Structure 1
Amino acid sequence: MDKQAALYHFKEHHFTPLLDIQLDRLEAMFDRYQAQLISDFKESFRNLCIHILSMQQQGQKEPIGYIHYSFLRTQMLEQSYLYMVEAYSTEWYEDDSDCKLTYDASWAYAPMSIMLEALEKERKIYMGTITSVDVERLMLESAPLFHQFVSSLLRLGMTEVVQMPEYLAIHKADRVAIRTGEYKDISENLYVEDQEALLADHVREQLIHSSEEEPYVYENLKRLSLPHLHLMQKDLRYNDFSHSDLRESQFHTCILIGSMWQRSNLAGGSFQGCLLTDADFRYSNLRDANFSNASGQPYREHGVRVPGLCGLHFEHAILDGADFTDVHSFEHAYFDGASMQGTLVPQKYYQHWKLSEAQLQSIVWTE
């Protein structure tokens, strides 16, 4: 067996099956210990903000424009799973006043250590054709699959950490972006904050005229008055509509992956046929809202599980009279503290959703 054939066989019969098992276990752990993981992240973020403010009070740091959580692929082979957390001015990487701490993400990357040990044994049956360097290369290539759990956790905790007094106290630029990704490489927004208020009419026009070629995504659209907004087949993924007035607004067959709607007024609105994977409606008013034919379909391909790790969040929302007829892939939806008087829910979710006795009694169960 030549080198390429041996590598293909090793990957197909040893590496990939082991990776799938470890990702399944990690996902189960992520779901079970999510609250504690978020608590640990919040404490880490609090320490970062204290450090930033200390530097600013000493005149060593300009207003913050970027906060970046970076994974360091090269350190992973040393089984160091610390993220570098850096705060920058608006100059980003040109900002030379170092302001950094670390975040311990070993909870997400510990399976890599298990895999390295197991694969080192498995490679020896190939009689020297597969080397330790080959195993390490495969492990490094898989790093983003473990990072997706960290990015999902940070996204889940973000709305809480940006309300902490320590974050509110730091001096910020007109626009702040909190991001994550590989160190000085591709990264994504977790949170965007604009100090200057957006004009509702301007945002309405941008939403209406967005297109497949120019989607309107990853924007901070909080605290806007946009009642009776009517949008169809728009890509609005990861936009933050929290604290906004969106009464009677219609979102038909829109892509709303990872969108945020916390504490928004969405009474009488419609999300009919929308893709709502990882959407967050906590504390929102969804009285008489229409979710019929909406989907929470998670992405699952070759180990990639984002979007889909965060689940759908309706905790403490008002869902009285809301219609969940024919929704699909809503198994990972959460309703703790939600009011569900007269909410229409398919019978198939009776076993999937963790509901209180009062919620079970007040829901109208449909076929």
Structure 2
Amino acid sequence: MDKQAALHHFKEHHFTPLLESELDKLEAKFHRCQAGLISDFKQSFRDLCAYILSMQQQGLKEPIGYIHYSFLRTQMLEQSYLYMVEAYSAEWYEDDSDCKLTYDASWAYAPMSAMLENLEQQRKIYMGAINSADVERLILESAPFFHSFVDSLVRLAIAESVQSPEYQAIHKAERLLIRTGEYRDISENLYVWDQEPLRADEVFEQLMQSSEEEPYVYENLKSLSLPHLHQFQKDLRYNDFSYSDLRGSQFHTCILLGTRWQQANVEGGSFQGCLLSDTDFRYCHLKGVNFSEASGRVDRENGLRTPGLCGIRFEHANLDEADFTNVHSFEHAYFEGASMQGTRVPRIYQQHWKLSDSQRESIVWTE
């Protein structure tokens, strides 16, 4: 067996099955320990903000425009799973005043150590065709799969984290972005804040001009008045509509992956046929909203665990008289503290959703 054939066989029969097994176990841990992981992240974020403010009070740091969480692939083989957390001014990488701490993500990456040890033993049966460097390369290539768990945790935690007094106290640039990704490489927005809120008429115009081919994504659309907005087949993923007035708004077959709607008012609106994977409706006003035909699709192939890790969050929302007829892949939806008086729900979700006795009694179960 030549090297390429050996590597193919090794990856198919040893590496990939082991990776899938470890990711399955990590996903179970992610859900089981989520509250504690969020609490730890929030504390680390408060520590970062306190450090930023200390530097600013000494005149060593300009108003913050970027906070960046970076995983360091080169340190992983040394079993160091610390994220570099850096705060920059609006100049981003041109800001040369170092302001950095670390975030310990070993809870997500620890399986890589066990995988390395296991695969080092398995490679020996290939009689020298596969060496340690080959194993290390495969391990490092898997880093983004583990990063997706950290990414999802930060998305779940960040809305509460930015309410902390420590974050509120730091001096911010006109726009502040919280991002994550590989160090000095591709990254994406997790949170966007604007000192001067966007104007509702400008946002309306941009939304109307957007399309699936020209998406309008990763924007801060908080605290806007956009009642009776109509959007059809638009790609609006990862936008933040929190605190906005969207009463009666119609979103039809839109891509709303990872969007936030905390404390928004969408009463009497519709998300019919929309993709709602990882959508955050916590504390949202959703009375009478039509969710029929919506999807919470998850990806669980070839090591992928996103979208779907965050689930669809309805905690403490008002879902009275909302309609979940014919929703798909809503197994990972969360309803703690939600009002569900007269909510129409397919009976198949009785066994999937964790509901209180009062919620079960108030729901109208449909076939």
Taking structure 2 as the reference length, the TM-score comes to: 0.99
Aligned runs of 1:119-268 on 2, under 5 Å? 119-268=119-268
* Mapped partners of 2:213, 2:340: distance in 1: 39
* Mapped partners of 1:175, 1:213: distance in 2: 26
* Mapped partners of 2:202, 2:27: distance in 1: 41
The alignment yields a C-alpha RMSD, in angstroms, of 0.6
* Mapped partners of 1:197, 1:61: distance in 2: 24
Q: Mind listing any 5+ residue stretches in structure 1 that lack a counterpart? A: none
Aligned runs of 1:10-25 on 2, under 5 Å? 10-25=10-25
Amino acid at match of 1:361: E
Contact 2:212 2:233 in 1 (8 A): no
* Mapped partners of 1:230, 1:129: distance in 2: 60
* Mapped partners of 1:163, 1:302: distance in 2: 37
Amino acid at match of 1:195: Q
User: How far off its partner does 1:301 sit?
Assistant: 2.6
Provide the residue aligned with 2:333 in structure 1: 333
Amino acid at match of 1:125: I
Q: Does 1:5 align with 2:5?
A: yes
User: How far off its partner does 1:211 sit?
Assistant: 1.9
Taking structure 1 as the reference length, the TM-score comes to: 0.99
* Mapped partners of 1:278, 1:41: distance in 2: 19
User: How far off its partner does 1:256 sit?
Assistant: 0.2
User: How far off its partner does 1:213 sit?
Assistant: 3.1
Provide the residue aligned with 1:323 in structure 2: 323
Amino acid at match of 2:358: A
Provide the residue aligned with 2:276 in structure 1: 276
Q: Does 1:36 align with 2:28?
A: no
* Mapped partners of 2:231, 2:120: distance in 1: 54
Amino acid at match of 1:124: K
* Mapped partners of 2:119, 2:244: distance in 1: 51
Provide the residue aligned with 2:302 in structure 1: 302
Would you say how many aligned residue pairs link Structure 1 and Structure 2? 367
* Mapped partners of 2:213, 2:95: distance in 1: 33
SS of equivalent residue, structure 1 residue 190: strand
* Mapped partners of 2:352, 2:65: distance in 1: 42
* Mapped partners of 1:137, 1:361: distance in 2: 54
* Mapped partners of 1:211, 1:275: distance in 2: 15
* Mapped partners of 2:20, 2:292: distance in 1: 33
Percent identical pairs in the alignment equals 77
* Mapped partners of 2:144, 2:219: distance in 1: 24
User: How far off its partner does 1:304 sit?
Assistant: 1.1
Contact 2:237 2:259 in 1 (8 A): yes
Q: Mind listing any 5+ residue stretches in structure 2 that lack a counterpart? A: none
Provide the residue aligned with 2:342 in structure 1: 342
Provide the residue aligned with 1:69 in structure 2: 69
Contact 2:313 2:333 in 1 (8 A): yes
SS of equivalent residue, structure 1 residue 173: strand
